[in-house]
Amino acid sequence: MTTGKVIIISAPSGCGKSTIINALMNEGGINMQFSVSATNRAPRGSEQDGVDYHFLSDHDFREAIAGDAFLEYEEVYPGRFYGTLKSEIDRIASAGSNVVLDIDVNGGLRVKQALGEEALSIFIEPPTIETLRQRLESRGTDSIESIDARVDRARYEIDQAPRYDARVVNDDLNSAVEQVRAIIVQFLSK
C-alpha cells in the first residue's frame, strides 16, 4: 500500500497526543506526513475539516465503508466511527513520505500486525488516570458523559500498551516530544 514506513501513534483521548504530533510536524526534519482520518463525530473546538479530520455525516461514512475507502476503521465510541482513508495513504506515499497514523489501539495493533517491521507503534500514556480526567475536564470541550466514556476507554487502551513497540509517558510535553522524536528517528534510520 505504501512505499514508505508507517508510524502508528495511539493514546487515550486527552493525553496530549495531537499536541505532540503537531509539535513534531511543525519542527520538521523528519520525512513524514499526517494521515487525516475520517470520522462521523462533530468538530470540536477549533478543529477544521480536512485538517484535523475529514468530518463526514453518518450517511457519508457508511457510503465510504461500502465503497471500500478505508484501510481500517473502528467504532471507537458507541456510534462514533473513525477510519484511515486509503486515499490519504496513497497521497502520502506518492509524495515519497512516511505516514503518521493517529489511531486507536484496536486499529493500531491491527495495522502493526499487518505491516510488521515496516511499521513502528508508539503508545503515549498519561501519568495517571486521574491526570487524564483532569485534562479532559479542563479542555472544556466534552460533556460529563463523554468524559466518563473517554476515561473508561482509556483504561482499556492503557491495558493494551505493553503490546506496542514503544511507550512514552506524557508528564512533561517537551520531554515527551523529544522522546517520541528520538524513537521515530531511530526507527527510520534502520
For residue 23, how many C-alpha atoms fall within 13 Å in the half-sphere facing its CB? 14
Q: If binding is defined by CB under 6 A, does position 41 make contact with ligand 5GP?
A: yes
Q: Does 84 bind ligand 5GP (CB under 6 A)?
A: yes
For ligand 5GP, the closer CB: 1 or 29 = 1
Site of grid cell 511543525: 26
Task: Confirm if 130 and 16 have CB atoms less than 8 A apart.
Answer: no
CA gap 101, 111 in Å, rounded: 10
Of 24, 76, 132, 168, the one binding ligand 5GP (CB under 6 A) is: 76
Is 33 a binder of ligand 5GP (CB under 6 A)? no
Q: What is the DSSP letter of 101?
A: E
Q: Closer CB to ligand 5GP, residue 30 or residue 146?
A: 146
Q: Does residue 62 contact residue 70 with C-beta atoms inside 8 Å?
A: no
> Minimal CB distance to ligand 5GP: which residue?
107
Contact call for residue 88 and ligand 5GP (CB under 6 A): no
**Torsion of the alpha carbons at 26, 84, 146 and 157, rounded to the nearest 10:** -90
Q: For binding to ligand 5GP (CB under 6 A), which residues are involved?
A: 10, 13, 37, 41, 72, 74, 76, 82-84, 102-104, 107
